[in-house]
Structure 1
């Protein structure tokens, strides 16, 4: 049975989530009618640092399991043996909180022309939450796993997280991250923004990988496996298809290509992979990105004798945002915005720009640059450009529509009125 098949159960599942979340999110269907995902309804979500649970996007590939915290366990396998109850996770280890900007690897897929498969996201599949839980490194040390030596290039151990979400197609949702990243800052989260982890976000326990694309943040974790390689087909001690979500899907490649499996890769920096360090790169570390939150383009702007504040968010995964530029004339001229607010590794920064707005129609763009000097490209290329696109200030069109970060498709058109509001 194909993994990409319609499922009536998914429609009922999403209807229940929508009822619980209210109007903070809106549904989007994929082309195969298998998935319904939920993205932020309003652009104003991206004018604030913390994303409310009600506005945080929701995306998962299989069905939500009927999980009960009292009976849920996490198996430790491969080069580590043991198991954890949720009581262990909550009480036997340190309790920490991390701020993490989670972005779906398919965010911006709907901006590709021609369309690629799956959910046609615009910009709405990103959010920042505070996740509370247990450091993965604490669990692994307790069970005898030695932390990788950063100076030892031969240490290619990986941690594979496996979700307990059931699949009619028999695929196992498994994702691998370097063991060094797991020790560095990953947690097993059981709370989101100070509340119990919602079912659609992974209740009772989810892996949080700060600064990395959402697909790596495995929900409903039921197994952690220490391995000498990434997950490959047949590498898990269980039936089903093991490597689809690591080695087939969520790979960046031109159309007509079937990526080969890799046991390991030289870099987990997604942008380095796109530049050529990895053949058919994986979606790990977030690419540099920005979004304007206000003005939102929905209602006319009235200056009221004061400058209009353009406000938004910018992020760059494991790297820091160095600069955000704003254009209020569709890219003809640019000016630096001010970065402000909380500054945590793996979480977005707020930016603002005071705009002396003249009456009329304006197109506002934002573009961010990370600490390594990598700036968002202007547009998404056509399907035949591939890596040559980078030289033309374009993000390469790819068959899955993954990891897009072009700035022009995310601009906002704003109407500026002529007169101040009479508040008398």
Structure 2
């Protein structure tokens, strides 16, 4: 189908982004269809706030030539009306939300054998402060007698070169809890590559759910399935086929609903059989030392290891750090800002000795779920989590293994 075809325009978009953002670089895309840039250095993960210049970008279709004055978000399905950008700004409250955005394919390039498409290492994550209008305020007057299990579908205005429509559904309960229609990023107007003029932000969930260039919000009894939207084209690809976790050579079945948006819980229970990439799995990254240059041991012999950890809708309960490739572990200290849906900083003192060392981190969430040590082989699938492995999957989604994200550091004598 059209979503599998190369897209020449992505190269122009990437070049333009790289001219504006010196903290990112192009990421390898085997399918030659996505506009993808990621953080250049691990230094990004030693800080709580990610500058726009270092924040990753990922999208499939061309960036629309949007005009802020004429852009309108339509309300459809069991909703009526719509709002311009100026009305969203002027007629409703404005809030700021801290959100760790992570591409569901972050870590795809760590799978062996490789999966197709974008070969992310660990560079597709960043935390920004998004400013905009609460979806709860926009929909407030139209939610009488709404049934439990209702879904909100966001549809992007990005032009497709095929017949697919970029649409993603999330539970209405999540949308009303903490989601916004954002028009600013880190206090600046939303950049085109991040969704200008309006982007839905779904805190704690994988980036694919935070639809860019939103032109329609549709209230539905189910998730988007084929032919569920009042428009031509293929509707369900991005919900029901892509961004599903499954072994090789499997065609996931469409589902009208799921019991939970917790990705890890879907993996553990097997319901549905092939999980959806919704809530982020527990994850951590060391930012400093970054492994790019040798570390000199200070006079007191202690090197500070700093990084970030996140767990989607859940809190991070703790982080451990290893300086010997995972053989032994020490508790790190959580510090800095503490906002739901955003990562936490962690630090740990290291009595460093000269030589080469492999530094690794592993986080545990408030439900006791800890990052697995490695990615499994393709045959493991459902048994992987029991063996302290994240299941290899054909799309390379939701990976959060410890060792593929370790960093090798050379320590010099004082």
TM bin, normalised by shorter chain, reads over 0.9
In the TM superposition, what is the alpha-carbon distance from 1:303 to its structure 2 partner? 1.6
| Residues 141, 147 of structure 1: 8 Å contact kept | no
Residue aligned with 2:3, SS? coil
In the TM superposition, what is the alpha-carbon distance from 1:8 to its structure 2 partner? 1.3
Residue aligned with 1:3, SS? helix
In the TM superposition, what is the alpha-carbon distance from 1:401 to its structure 2 partner? 0.2
Aligned twin of 1:278: 272
| Structure 2: gaps of 5 or more residues | none
> CA 1:192 to 1:147, structure 2 compared with 1: closer, same or farther past 3 Å?
farther
In the TM superposition, what is the alpha-carbon distance from 1:147 to its structure 2 partner? 8.3
Q: Does 1:247 align with 2:246?
A: no
2:143 pairs with one of 136, 142, 145: 145
| Residues 29, 35 of structure 1: 8 Å contact kept | no
2:407 pairs with one of 392, 405, 412: 412
Structure 1 residues 215-265: Cα deviation after superposition (integer angstroms, max 9, x where no partner)? 000000000000000000000000111000000000000011101110000
1:214 pairs with one of 200, 207, 210: 207
What does 1:134-283 align with in structure 2 at a 5 Å threshold? 134-142=133-141, 144-146=142-144, 155-275=148-268, 276-283=270-277
In the TM superposition, what is the alpha-carbon distance from 1:283 to its structure 2 partner? 0.3
Give the TM-score normalised by the residue count of structure 2. Answer: 0.98
> CA 1:393 to 1:271, structure 2 compared with 1: closer, same or farther past 3 Å?
same
CA distance in 2, matches of 1:269, 1:240: 29
CA distance in 2, matches of 1:36, 1:141: 35
CA distance in 2, matches of 1:108, 1:147: 42
| Structure 1: gaps of 5 or more residues | 149-153, 420-424
What does 1:102-113 align with in structure 2 at a 5 Å threshold? 102-113=101-112
Aligned twin of 1:8: 8
Aligned twin of 1:389: 384
Aligned twin of 1:308: 303
In the TM superposition, what is the alpha-carbon distance from 1:146 to its structure 2 partner? 3.6
| Residues 75, 82 of structure 2: 8 Å contact kept | yes
Structure 1 residues 279-328: Cα deviation after superposition (integer angstroms, max 9, x where no partner)? 10000000000000000011111122131000000000000000100000
CA distance in 2, matches of 1:399, 1:76: 35
CA distance in 1, matches of 2:20, 2:357: 37
1:287 pairs with one of 281, 285, 302: 281
Aligned twin of 2:128: 129
| Residues 49, 348 of structure 1: 8 Å contact kept | yes
What does 1:364-375 align with in structure 2 at a 5 Å threshold? 364-375=359-370
Residue aligned with 1:59, SS? strand
| Residues 212, 284 of structure 1: 8 Å contact kept | yes
CA distance in 1, matches of 2:154, 2:55: 23
| Residues 35, 57 of structure 2: 8 Å contact kept | no
| Residues 343, 349 of structure 1: 8 Å contact kept | yes
CA distance in 1, matches of 2:18, 2:23: 9
| Residues 374, 390 of structure 2: 8 Å contact kept | yes
Aligned twin of 2:63: 64
In the TM superposition, what is the alpha-carbon distance from 1:18 to its structure 2 partner? 1.0
| Residues 107, 396 of structure 2: 8 Å contact kept | yes
| Residues 267, 278 of structure 1: 8 Å contact kept | no
| Residues 272, 278 of structure 1: 8 Å contact kept | no
Matched residue pairs, number?
A: 412
Residue aligned with 1:26, SS? strand
